[in-house]
Structure 1
């Protein structure tokens, strides 16, 4: 009899544990509104559905998606062309731009301590992410190949303008620097990202502390 009750207790504990794990799994697999299509008037962000805890996972997913898009561009076997390199590069990172835009709006208009902590955590990561793209030698090689062949491959005025801007962005972002200088540039960019964030927070704090005294 004792053995029966002992086995029954174990089975009940295993069942409860399984239910608890399934419940946690269901809770953790909830959809992140930042990663979904905004089915709202004019596509405005659904701030009523967005929670503070949604931002960091959304940034992580968006950067991973952007990295996948960049990898797809540089791992092509075809020679670099405007369509398979410049156009795809220009359209890449759409999810990251959307998440960043929503987060920036939240920080500017309705920030709090938790939002500011997320900003401090994500700012250097975004700086590193941007550097990983602008200092990617394989990606720059494809962009440069299209730029060098721009006279042989006729482009529309809009395409030529985009090519010129993207190519110069790479140059100004340090794509032609040696490895040592690029490493130094990465550190500078990381520091600048944090300094810019702190400046914005100080300005916001001053605005919030403003009082108009009327005698």
Structure 2
């Protein structure tokens, strides 16, 4: 576990090296969430949570991989005694920690905005989705991103994916509200499924050979 924490701290330092990009993403999340809350009321909490986690994960993981490419540290990590699973687990912990903290701060600001404007707060039934379900699937998205990087060495096409997701983050379509209501009514099922999916994806990522990654990244 000590080697995982070494990767974790290295990742946090890489965010500091590209601090202006990370802070720009944080400021956008902190400003965008409350604005959506002001426009959408309590539904804005969902948008704030989605934006903080998915947007934060995408930005931070892009910074992480870009940093490794520019510093040439990808091949150095792969030539070390670290396993692929340890490398990615350290990355996941650092990226998820920063993204989750950003989401929490954005939700706190949104709560203040909505309370001062509408005198309402999110119902207790919404809290598991905000603080557990959405972050879990943000973690799954992070694993899918890293899997694409490990297998292809190029994640530029994921810009297109984010372009498709962006309108949803701006304003979730009304057609998905029944799904959201179902998730709120039965919170345990999507949480369990998300955890199982995250474990499965980590198993797949950790089984990628170093030789394949060296071939892709070199």
TM bin, normalised by shorter chain, reads 0.3 to 0.5
- Structure with higher RCO (Cα < 8 A, 6+ apart): 2
Q: TM-score, normalised by structure 1?
A: 0.36
The answer to which structure has the higher helix fraction is: 2
Larger-gyration structure (1/2)? 1
Q: TM-score, normalised by structure 2?
A: 0.35
